[in-house]
A and B are shown apart, each in its own frame.
Chain A
């Protein structure tokens, strides 16, 4: 009996190995071709649709489009309708997108409801020098060219759709940097409140370790007012620190635009329109000027990923059930053999 059980256990072990090898080969061959990447570009004319074609995909595949956040999207639709379901990115909340470097990209993620091909139809906004991100609450924003007093401004319209729990929305314009902040660091700039009400405009200095925020426009700012600001190593930031970022590696500077629900009258639309002028960054004697340019026709780079999703087949199902049954049978036999050997040892 024991010899029979031992022979059975050897046979089951061999069967388990065989099933594992076949399953492994099947899965590895699948993994080798489970991602397709398309790196390309498209000509954009603001006001006209921009088409990005998605070649063949299968049901449940994931489609992932990455754009630069300097080319904001006004609207995106899918043709044919319903073939792709957009999946929200806000797993942890929009605040998670604050983290660098995802801050500089605009991402769209879809799950395929059926196999086939599709087109993404995008209505783009003008290209701007800043990556624009919503970081708190939910907002819609538009960018446009604004001229006033023979000067060009970057016009930014921000409207709150949903306020965060703290009652704010925050939209940030990000300009990436690759510098180590020196004592002569300063940022000079100009902005105008054209319409609406703001809670604040802060200049954000981001280093590898922390964010430093400096208020440059208060909530009392009246429409049409022009603000010139200068932030440097001696300026006190919102947490009371001065020059704490010096010597650290800079990631970006940002202009964060806040709206607050308590500022609004009944039925008042929560929005603000700002004009942003030149921003000049001085560091280690070098001057960098961010001009408020807006491009209505431009070349847009994009990356499109088609991630194939494993689809269970009858063969796969049979292999998995065979594996589970073999392991259970092997376990039963080995436990029986262990008990027998233990009993024999105790008897002796």
Chain B
């Protein structure tokens, strides 16, 4: 009897242990997704409040950039039919509804940057612990070019970056349809997103590859159908006019002797005609960023060759990687090659560059990674200051300093990230 009682007690104790453990698990399962979510939401609310406070303090006037939207509305023109803006439809059309509304622009930017930060966190969580992911997301959130873009600059860069990160996420998850759709959305927002198509196409095999390409095309043609039907040539000009643009704020620009700012120096009528019509009437000049005549045309091809070479190289490297987390470090390298060797740079491009650099350097010790990111922080802030009058250096010299510093920092970072950690 005693033995059976003992057995019963043992069974009961084990059951109790088991039950309480299960209960704990279930409680954890119930709580764990909710609690952090609330914390993250609270974090985003605090961040948004901080940005709104900055907006109220600085009173920026982002809608002043939207001169083309005002021109189009005033003259009752249609985008992509009568007038070609500088960005594809997803990058430009949201702003035509906000062209007189600074608060509306801020709200749109805040929503985009909130989702962007959430996406950065989700990606980081795939390869690192929560604490580090949170610190890095905070670093991105306070990154000066991101704050500047949110407050001041109504351009498509934030949205384009969001699509880029979602595409990378789907690459890791092995979903070719998601990759195709989001690269296409990116391409319909800003052009650089298409770079990711090459590593993505190489990574997927068989029908996955076909599904990726077809979903890319289906998204592109569905969204573009109306513009293609009404005036495919004006729509194509949105993309082709970039071929005539000159270099700016890059090593190639400085080597060629162009020391001005992105986008400046362009005539104001060229958007009402096709890009090749404009090219036929407007003589290229080495003063004119918009229809640029290179002093050393070889530089253009050097830049292009380096870009293509490294994009292919990193895409091929990505194929050899099967592990999702390692892939997250390798895939951004192809996009990074495009920015690094581009003849064209502006302070906004620094945002995708910074985030991609962060993904690539995730293997470094936390302190070393923060040091690298702090370096880019400083270079980018200095880059902004170049355009403010009254700086202690003149524009030429400070641009040169910024460009060289960024090149050195990028080379060092990539060297260290590749495994040559002796430097530390």
Contacts and interface: CB of A to CB of B under 8 A. Distances in A.
B221 interface: yes
Interface string B257-300: 00100001111110111101100110101011000000000000
Interface in A91-135: 91-93, 96-97, 99-102, 107, 109, 111
B400 interface: no
Given A31-B233, A317-B229, A99 B287 contact: yes
Contacts of A92: 67-68, 268
Nearest to A337: B207
Contact of A307 (B207, B213, B277): B277
* A208, A310, A323, A334: most-surrounded residue (chain B CB, <10 A): A334
Given A30-B233, A307-B273, A341-B206, 6 more contacts: A92-B68, A101-B287, A324-B222, A324-B225, A328-B222, A338-B208
Contacts of B273: 62, 64, 307
A267 interface: no
Contact of B71 (A66, A91, A97): A91
Contact of B218 (A27, A62, A305, A327): A327
A35 B272 contact: no
Interface in B65-112: 67-68, 71, 75, 82
14 contacts: A87-B272, A92-B68, A97-B268, A99-B264, A99-B265, A101-B283, A101-B288, A209-B396, A305-B281, A310-B234, A320-B229, A334-B207, A335-B215, A338-B208
B82 A111 contact: yes
B57 to A, nearest CB: 22
B277 A101 contact: no
Given A34-B277, A89-B268, A338 B228 contact: no
A220 interface: no
B154 interface: no
A236 B174 CA distance: 66
Contact of A328 (B68, B211, B218): B218
Contacts of B233: 27, 30-31, 34, 310
A82 to B, nearest CB: 15
Interface of B: 67-68, 71, 75, 82, 176-177, 206-208, 210-211, 213-215, 217-218, 221-222, 225, 228-234, 259, 264-269, 271-274, 276-277, 280-281, 283, 285, 287-288, 396
Contact of A208 (B213, B283, B287): B287
Contacts of A149: none
Nearest to B276: A31
A316 B230 CA distance: 9
Interface of A: 9, 23, 27, 30-31, 34-35, 37, 60, 62, 64, 66, 87-93, 96-97, 99-102, 107, 109, 111, 208-209, 251, 303, 305, 307, 309-310, 312, 316-317, 320-321, 323-324, 327-328, 330-331, 334-335, 337-338, 340-342
Given A87-B75, A90-B268, A309 B231 contact: yes
Contacts of A320: 225, 228-229, 232
Contact of B281 (A64, A309, A334): A64
A102 B176 CA distance: 48
Contacts of B232: 23, 27, 310, 320
A83 B259 CA distance: 44
- Chain B at the A interface: mostly helix, strand, loop or mixed? helix
B259 A209 contact: yes
A203 to B, nearest CB: 21
A296 to B, nearest CB: 30
B299 to A, nearest CB: 18
Given A90-B268, A91-B271, A337-B207, A321 B230 contact: no
Contacts of A27: 232-233
Contacts of A109: 269, 272
B277 A337 contact: no
A208 B295 CA distance: 14
Nearest to B259: A209
A305 B277 CA distance: 9
Given A62-B273, A341-B207, A35 B280 contact: yes
B67 A91 contact: yes
Contact of A334 (B211, B230, B269, B276): B211
Contacts of A64: 269, 273, 281
B268 A96 contact: yes
Contacts of A97: 267-268
Contacts of B269: 64, 87, 89, 91, 107, 109
A238 to B, nearest CB: 13
A321 B229 contact: yes
A331 to B, nearest CB: 4
B210 A338 contact: yes
B67 A312 contact: no
Nearest to B286: A208
Contacts of A111: 82, 272
Nearest to B234: A310
B27 to A, nearest CB: 33
Contact of A324 (B177, B221, B271, B285): B221
A101 B285 CA distance: 8
